[in-house]
Structure 1
Amino acid sequence: MSTVSLGRRLLALIIDWFVALLSVALLTGSPLSGEGSVNPLWNLGMFFVQVWVLTGLLGYTIGKRLLGMRVEGPDGRPIGLVRAAVRTALLCLAVPALLQNDEGRGFHDIASTSRVVRV
């Protein structure tokens, strides 16, 4: 298993956040920011749904796929929707993702018994 750097994980997170912003803008017909943009909670909700479903079913988000990473459980398979919901909810809080152990796993990974690996 190859560990993934925090910088690489943050870049994937930024890509995923931008995909969520674009999705909300396309669905609502509103601008990405400024006057007329939607409530930021819509963006967070879209981010949650996209990351939750993609991580749970496929093991990767769009950002992780582009950067050659995947989320897996101890058995090497995608973690499923329940564990992905826990992981994504903690990720949305931001702080748990920044708290890492000596293996580079964030609290959201530890709580969902997952890990991010390079592919």
Structure 2
Amino acid sequence: MDKRQAIGSWLSGPRAAAEEAGVDFGYRGQQLGLPEEGPGSIARPGRRMGGIAVDWGLCMVIAYGLFAGGDQQAMGNWALGIFFVMSVLTVGTVGCTPGKALFRLRVISESGGRLAPGWVLLRSVLLCLVVPALIWDRDGRGLHDRLSRSVQVRV
């Protein structure tokens, strides 16, 4: 292996280097038995980030409406609380938040059914901590989804 090849594999990341060596990772969601594309496939990061941005914006508007005139820090804290309650209630009942519904996403259990209330609560707590949502596995699921045994799929 010459220097250019070594630097190229380093820049492209370990997954690309392993694929060049012949390792077959399959597509996202294959290990979970989900389709590669279309309804029921694992949601892509762009859609998930768009959904959470809409949800956060909605929570900020609600917090501003309820606590107009308050300081920005307190409003951000209230928005986080509203986000938590909204996540628990909407994912626990209809399987998606307003932002996820806008981007045509749904949260389901790994077995394909509705997520149990305890798992919804755990998922919402971990999502509010932010860091678990930033650690992804090879399927593109955040740590909050893995620990709560959930999957975000396209509708």
TM-score by length of 1: 0.88
Q: Larger C-alpha radius of gyration, 1 or 2?
A: 2
Other structure's SS at 1:23 match: helix
Partner of 1:94: 130
Is 1:115–2:154 an aligned residue pair? Answer: no
Instruction: Count residues with an aligned counterpart.
Output: 115
Partner of 2:47: 8
The amino acid that maps onto 2:53 is: I
The amino acid that maps onto 2:83 is: F
Displacement of 1:41 in angstroms is: 1.2
Contact (CA 8 Å) 1:60, 1:69: kept in 2 or not? yes
Q: Which runs of structure 2 are paired with 1:21-100 in the superposition (5 Å)?
A: 21-28=60-67, 30=68, 36-37=71-72, 39=74, 40-100=76-136
Other structure's SS at 2:152 match: strand
Give deviations 1:35-83, integer Å, cap 9, x for gaps.
7446021111001100111011110000000000000013423213221
CA distance in 2, matches of 1:95, 1:36: 25
Aligned-residue CA RMSD in angstroms? 1.6
CA distance in 1, matches of 2:51, 2:121: 18
CA distance in 1, matches of 2:92, 2:135: 22
CA distance in 1, matches of 2:146, 2:140: 10
Is 1:20–2:59 an aligned residue pair? Answer: yes
Percent identity of equivalent pairs: 36
CA distance in 1, matches of 2:141, 2:101: 19
CA distance in 2, matches of 1:80, 1:22: 29
Structure with higher RCO (Cα < 8 A, 6+ apart): 1
TM-score by length of 2: 0.69
Other structure's SS at 1:100 match: coil
- For structure 2, which runs of at least 5 residues remain unmatched after alignment? 1-39
CA distance in 2, matches of 1:49, 1:112: 17
